[in-house]
Amino acid sequence: MIQLVAEPAPIGIDLARTALIIIDMQRDFLEPGGFGETLGNDVSLLKAAVEPCRQVLAAARKAGMLVIHTREGHSPDMHDAPPAKVARGAPSKRIGDVGPMGRILIQGEPGHDIIPELYPIAGEPVIDKPGKGAFYATNLGLILANRSIENLLVCGVTTEVCVNTTVREGNDRGFRCIVLSDCCGSYFPEFHETGLAMIKAQGGIFGWVTGSKKLLSAMAA
C-alpha cells in the first residue's frame, strides 16, 4: 500500500492491484505529419508529457506493476472506421490516407506505433482501440479482471479526449482512476486544465488527480 497525495483528497492504493495505463502516446499524435497535425494542431504541445510519463513507466516496471499501452487506430481495410470519423480533418490527409509516416491512424503503419521513449517491453499488453475510450471494443476489461486490478493510474493524450473518456469508462466499471496530470497533454492547454478539473470535481466524481512527482515520492517511501 502507498498513500498518495491527490485531489480532491489523499488516496491509499495497493500497487499489486493497480495498473498503469498509458494512452495513445503514438507518433500519429505526437510527431509532425500524423493525425494530430492533420486536424490543425501544434503537436509539439504534447511533448511536455513524455519525460514525466517515462519516469513513471520506469518506476512501475521496477515495482512489477501491470503496465498497459493503448493505440487508437483502425484495421488496414478500415472496416472499423466510422465514416463520420473519417470525414474529419483536412480533405487531403484523412484517416487511411498516406502521410509522412504511412497511412494515417492505420494499424501496422509507422505513425500508428508508440513513440520510442515509451515503447512497450515484452509482457506489457498493447490495446488497439478503434475509439476514444480504452474499454470500447477491446479486451481491456478482461485483462484487468484477470489480474484483480482495482486502481488505474492514467497517463497519455489527449487529456480531454481519450484520457477523459477512458477515465469515465473505468469509473462506470468500478475502478478507482487516478490521473497523473503532468503525464497527460492536450493541443489546447485550457482543455487540459478543464479536463483535469472535471475529473476531480464534486468530490472526485470521476476520479483523482495528482502529479508524477507525488506518485514517485510515495512509491519510493
Considering the candidates 53, 155, 162, 177, report the single residue annotated as catalytic. 162
Per the annotation, the verdict on 200 as an active-site residue is no
* pLDDT tens digits, 58-112: 999 999 999 999 999 999 999 999 999 999 877 778 999 999 999 999 999 999 9
* pLDDT tens digits, 168-215: 999 999 999 999 999 999 999 999 999 999 999 999 999 999 999 999
Considering the candidates 28, 53, 93, 129, report the single residue annotated as catalytic. 129
In the chain, which ranges are E strands?
2-4, 11-13, 18-23, 66-72, 98-99, 102-103, 126-129, 151-157, 176-185, 208-210
Please identify which residue in the block is written with the cell numbers 465514416: 83
Q: How far apart, in whole angstroms, are the C-alpha atoms of residue 96 and residue 87?
A: 11
CB contact set of 214 (below 8 Å; sequence gap of 6+): 4, 5, 6
Q: Give the CATH number, domain containing residue 123.
A: 3.40.50.850
Per the annotation, the verdict on 128 as an active-site residue is no
Q: How far apart, in whole angstroms, are the C-alpha atoms of residue 137 and residue 139?
A: 7
Per the annotation, the verdict on 184 as an active-site residue is no
The share of the chain scoring above pLDDT 90, in percent, equals: 93
φ, ψ at 3 (rounded to 5°): -105, 120
Task: Report the predicted TM-score, pTM, of the whole model to 2 decimal places.
Answer: 0.96
Considering the candidates 24, 28, 113, 182, report the single residue annotated as catalytic. 24
Count CB-CB contacts under 10 A for residue 198. Answer: 17
Whether the pLDDT of residue 56 is over 80: the answer is: yes
Could you give the angle at which helices 164-172 and 189-204 cross, rounded to 10 degrees? 20
Number of domains in the chain: 1
Name the residue range of residue 83's domain: 2-220
pLDDT band at 34 (very low <50, low <70, confident <90, very high): confident
Kindly state the average pLDDT of the residues 150-159: 98
According to DSSP, the β-strands at 208-210 and 176-185 are: parallel
State the pLDDT at residue 90: 73
Whether residue 137 contacts residue 80, with contact meaning beta carbons closer than 8 Å, is answered with: yes
Least confident residue range of 14-23, 27-36, 51-60, 89-98: 89-98
